[in-house]
Structure 1
């Protein structure tokens, strides 16, 4: 191995260790009471206190369920709106097609805080304030623009012979879309689902603005109010952070392959 390559590898390993070590400290601290954190903050110390996790779970179990429901609603709305709009842009020709597509893509450049107040007014007028669906719909609408961008490119990359063969067999657009395009588009659908799901799950500001009670509070807000006993201290909070991140970790590891494949195919026209 050349000296230059060895130096690059060692540097990469050092950067990896420095990047992951804070997460390791959080993990080991989640098993400690407050005095153990003060006495040995950098590594495990005995005994391990599993009660931190049970205390944290009792406080955020309901918010986790709320977040799962909110995220699922948002993903379904985003995928439905994105896929149907992208299919129309990819397959049909109609007046001002490029103008409308450009207008949708331009929405990606609008900062979220600019439309925060109009969104809040609309949700309140529609009677969706302090509801789960009120937390899901505006973020889903915002992430639809990215979905249209990725899906249109992917749909245009599909072989035109598929559309032509289906039309020759008498299939209408709805059947072509649901039975041919969608089954072939699982990678890009997974990509958009993961990207929108992560954003909706972690949308702190919108949930803070549009909720006022504990009944519909998502986990992203609930983890800020986790509290433990005098002896437990910050260990309960750190345990809560770990529990709250588990659904996202499971989603990511379960869909890593289609996510990477869909992101690549949706970004570059094949």
Structure 2
């Protein structure tokens, strides 16, 4: 095995440190009062003020619940639509199959702002304005195209003998899908879940357009209005940023291995 050049390792670590340093500054500043941020902006300074997190959490706790609900609904809708459509494309032959798949993939090329107004009108007409469903379902529909592409490639890479053995045992299509295909597809399912979850959680523009007031305000909007006292200043707002990022960090680190595996296999199989 060829050994790594030590200078290459140092260079990569230096790039990583530079990339991560803004996050370090964010974390350090979240424990400071306003004057400490001005006087020592680059590192931690004494005394620390963990009370910033309590003040911020009281202001964004309910919006975090809203965002968790919206993300859960959106991810569930994306996975159901993507998995069933991808299985159909991978398993069956039907008229205009390739043309229909091409149309779905073309949706990836449409910028989000182009369909923003039609989506808003549709949501308003269906009575879903300023609701959790109104925030979740349109983004889920947009991210389904990517899910179909990744899942179809993965499903087509599964051994045909699995399908043949299931058919010989008399398994119906739904049983094959639910008991054989999905259990073997955990990496790609995790990949699509994480990718869509990140996008839905951080969807600032759509949340701004489709919500009003505090009834279902997501955390991506709520952190803009987080405020501290005169002494606390921006430290409370920065603490709110850290708190708002924790659910996604926990999700990503818990599913890093299947996420990477799913990206790789979904890209090369087919």
TM class by smaller structure: over 0.9
Shift of residue 42, structure 1, vs aligned partner: 1.4
Shift of residue 19, structure 1, vs aligned partner: 1.1
Shift of residue 8, structure 1, vs aligned partner: 2.6
1:71 alignment partner, SS class: helix
TM-score, normalised on structure 1?
A: 0.97
Q: 1:268 maps to which residue?
A: 268
After superposition, the C-alpha distances for 1:142-187 in whole angstroms (9 at most, x for unaligned) are 0000000000010000110111111111111011111111111111
Q: 1:67 maps to which residue?
A: 67
Unaligned runs of 5+ in 2: none
Shift of residue 22, structure 1, vs aligned partner: 1.2
Q: 2:227 maps to which residue?
A: 227
Q: Kindly report the root-mean-square deviation, in angstroms, between the aligned alpha carbons of the 2 structures.
A: 1.0
Shift of residue 5, structure 1, vs aligned partner: 2.9
Shift of residue 91, structure 1, vs aligned partner: 0.5
Number of corresponding residues = 267
Q: Which 4+ stretches in 1 moved above 4 angstroms?
A: none
Unaligned runs of 5+ in 1: none
After superposition, the C-alpha distances for 1:64-102 in whole angstroms (9 at most, x for unaligned) are 000000000001000000000000000000000000000
2:5 alignment partner, SS class: helix
Q: 1:126 maps to which residue?
A: 126
Q: How does 1:143-182 map onto structure 2 within 5 Å?
A: 143-182=143-182
Is 1:5 the equivalent of 2:5? yes
Q: 1:19 maps to which residue?
A: 19
Q: Distance in 1 between matches of 2:227 and 2:195?
A: 31
Shift of residue 9, structure 1, vs aligned partner: 2.7
Q: Distance in 1 between matches of 2:252 and 2:198?
A: 9
Shift of residue 10, structure 1, vs aligned partner: 2.7
